[in-house]
Chains A and B, each alone.
Chain A
Amino acid sequence: MSSSTAFRELQRELETKANDLSKLQKDIAKNHQVRKKYTIQLGENELVLKELDLLKEDANVYKLIGPVLVKQDLAEANANVRKRIEYISAELKRLDATLQDLEEKQNSKKDMIFKLQQRIQSLQAGKGKA
Chain B
Amino acid sequence: MASSKSSSGSEALSKMSLEQLKAIKEQADDEVNLLQDSLSNIRNATARLEIASSALNDLSLRPQDNWVLGLKGPHHLGVSVLLRLLSKWIISIKFVGKKMLVPLTASLYVPGTLDDADKVLVDVGTGYFIEKTTNEGKNYCERKINLLKSNFDQLVEVASKKKSIADEATVILQAKLKQLTPST
Contact = CB atoms under 8 A, between A and B. Distances in A.
Given A51-B130, A55-B130, A62 B121 contact: yes
Contacts of B127: 63-65
Contacts of B140: 51
Contacts, number: 48
Contact of B125 (A48, A55, A62): A48
A61 B128 contact: yes
B126 interface: yes
B125 A47 contact: yes
A52 B130 contact: yes
A63 B125 contact: no
Interface in B17-72: none
A5 interface: no
Contacts of B109: none
Nearest to A65: B127
Contacts of A52: 124, 128, 130
Contact of B124 (A51, A65, A72): A51
Interface residues of A, number: 20
A82 B7 CA distance: 41
Contacts of A69: 121, 129
Contacts of B121: 62, 69
Contacts of A61: 128-131
Contacts of B125: 44-45, 47-48
A55 B128 CA distance: 13
Contact of A45 (B126, B129, B130, B131): B126
Contact of A63 (B122, B129, B131, B132): B129
A45 B126 CA distance: 7
Interface of B: 121-122, 124-132, 140
12 contacts: A41-B126, A44-B126, A47-B124, A52-B124, A52-B128, A52-B130, A55-B130, A60-B131, A62-B130, A63-B127, A63-B129, A64-B129
9 closest cross-chain pairs (CB), A and B: A60-B131, A64-B127, A62-B129, A44-B125, A51-B124, A48-B125, A48-B124, A48-B126, A48-B128
